[in-house]
Amino acid sequence: MLSTVLTALPADSDWINFDVPSLMQNFWSATFDGLTFGAIYALVALGYTLVYGVLNLINFAHSEVFIMGCYAVFFTLSFLGFGPSAPNLGIGAIILNLLLALIAAIVASALTAFLVERLAYRPLRKRNAPRLVYLITAIGASFTIQYLIFLWRGPLPEPALTMFIPTPIFEVFGTIIDSQQIIIVVAAVIMMVVVDQFIRRSRTGRGIRAVAQDPDTATLMGVNKEKIIVTTFIIGGVLAGAAALFYVMKIPSGVQYNGGFILGIKAFAAAVLGGIGNVRGALLGGLLLGLIGNYGQILLGSSQWTDVVAFVVLVLVLLVRPEGILGTSLGRSKA
C-alpha cells in the first residue's frame, strides 16, 4: 500500500523530507532528549520484560498499569496545588511534593498490576489455558481498564501541570542539559540498576530467574511460583509508576485515557530491541529506541513519525534479530 502510494505520488510532494541539516544542527539536543524519553521507555519496558520472562505472556494491560500511575500523579499534584504554571515553592518543598506523587503513582500502578494478575490471569493459570486465551484476556483487560477511565474522565487529556521549570545545569557540545533531563535519566538508571541487582542477588530474584527458566522444576525445588508471579507483576507496576511520574514531568498534557497505548507499544518494541526477558536489554533497548525515535522525528519533520519509526524498528528487529541485541533470557542471566 505504502509503496503504491509512494510511486504514484506527484513529483513535487515533500511530505517526507530527509532534513539532514536540521538533524546535524540539533544532533546533541536530540540525543539528550532522546535519552530522556528512552529512560522512560526503559522503565515501562522492564515491566513487559519481567512478566514476559516469567509467564511468557505479553501483558497488554501493562500500558494501563502505566496510565493509572499517570492519573495518580495528576490527582496528587492537583491536590497539592500544582497547576498550569510553575509552583512558587522552594526546591525542598517541590522535591517533597514530587516524592508524594511518586509514591501515589507507584501504589496506583502496582495495585493495578496486582489486580490484573489476580482477576484476569490467575484464573487462566489455574486451568492451564492455551496461549491464545491468555493473549485475548490480556488485550481485553487492557481495553476494559482503558474504557473505565474513559467513562470516568472523558475523552480529553487532563489539564497540564507544571512540576518545576527545568534549569540549565551544564553544557555539553554546545547543548544545555537541564535539571529535568538529569533527574529523569539518573533516577531511571538508578532504579533499573537496583532491579537488576535485586534479580541477580536477592532470594526473590533467584526465584524469578528460576521460574523464568523452568516453572515446573522451580516449583519442585520449593519456589512458590504464585508468589513469584505476583511479585513480578508488582515490580513491573512499581517501575511503571516511576515512569508515570517522569512521563507527566516530560509531557504534562499526556494524561489521557488512551495515553498508555502508544507508549506501551514503544516500550514493548524497546524490550524486544534489547532482547525480551532481559533486564539490561530493556534499558539498552529503551535508550536506543528513544534516540532512534528522536532522530527520526527531526529527520522526517513531525513528532508523529516517532511512533512510525518505533514500529518500523520493531518489525526490523523481528525480521533480522528476533532475540534482540542482548538476547539472553531472564532465566539465563548470570548471578
Partner 1 sequence: MSTIDGPTPLPGAKASQAAADRQASGNIPGGSADAVRKSGWFGRWSEKWRAMPRQKQWLYLIVIVVIAYLLPVINPPILSTEPGNDFPLALFSMAVYALAAVGLNIVIGYAGLLDLGYIAFFAVGSYTAAMLTSPDSPFFKIPYLWTIPLAILVALCVGVILGIPTLRLRGDYLAIVTLGFGEIIRILATLIPAMKGQVGFQNVGRPPGMGPDGIPIFANSNGTPWYWLALTILIIVLFLAGNLERSRVGRSWIAIREDEDAAETMGVPTFKYKVWAFAMGAGVGGMAGALFAGQVGFVNNQKFDVVTSIMFVAAVVLGGTGNKVGAVLGGAVVAYIPLRFTAIAEYKYLIFGLALVVIMIYRSQGLLPARQRLLAYGHIAYAKVRRTAPIAPAPVTEKEA
Contact set with partner 1 (CB under 8 A)? 1-2, 4-5, 8-10, 13, 15-16, 56-58, 60, 120, 123-124, 129-133, 135-137, 139-141, 143-144, 146-148, 150-151, 261-262, 265, 268-269, 272, 302, 304-305, 307-308, 311, 314-316, 318-319, 322
Least separation in angstroms between residue 147's CB and partner 1 is 4
The nearer residue to partner 1, 52 or 164, going by C-beta atoms, is: 52
Least separation in angstroms between residue 218's CB and partner 1 is 21
Least separation in angstroms between residue 254's CB and partner 1 is 16
Query: Residue 87 carries which DSSP code?
Result: P
Listed in sequence order, the residues at least 6 apart from 283 whose beta carbon sits closer than 8 Å to its beta carbon are 42, 46, 189, 192, 274
Q: State how far Cα 228 lies from the chain centre.
A: 22
- Among residues 190, 307, 173, the alpha carbon closest in space to that of 246 is found at 190
The nearer residue to partner 1, 118 or 201, going by C-beta atoms, is: 118
The nearer residue to partner 1, 25 or 302, going by C-beta atoms, is: 302
- Give 8: exposed, middle or buried? Use CB within 10 Å, 0-12, 13-18, 19+: exposed
The nearer residue to partner 1, 144 or 179, going by C-beta atoms, is: 144
The nearer residue to partner 1, 99 or 148, going by C-beta atoms, is: 148
The nearer residue to partner 1, 194 or 316, going by C-beta atoms, is: 316
Least separation in angstroms between residue 283's CB and partner 1 is 20
Listed in sequence order, the residues at least 6 apart from 321 whose beta carbon sits closer than 8 Å to its beta carbon are 327
The nearer residue to partner 1, 56 or 179, going by C-beta atoms, is: 56
CB 60 within 8 A of CB 142: yes
CA distance 237 to 307: 23
Least separation in angstroms between residue 322's CB and partner 1 is 5
C-alpha separations of 140 from 59, 60, 137, 302 in Å: 11, 9, 5, 32
Least separation in angstroms between residue 62's CB and partner 1 is 11
Cα torsion 313, 316, 317, 318: sign: positive
CA distance 111 to 277: 22
Least separation in angstroms between residue 73's CB and partner 1 is 24
Q: What's the per-residue H, E or C state across 207-246? A: HHHHHHHCHHHHHHCCCCHHHHHHHHHHHHHHHHHHHHHH
Least separation in angstroms between residue 118's CB and partner 1 is 12
- Give 262: exposed, middle or buried? Use CB within 10 Å, 0-12, 13-18, 19+: middle
Which cell goes with 10? 506527484
The nearer residue to partner 1, 188 or 314, going by C-beta atoms, is: 314
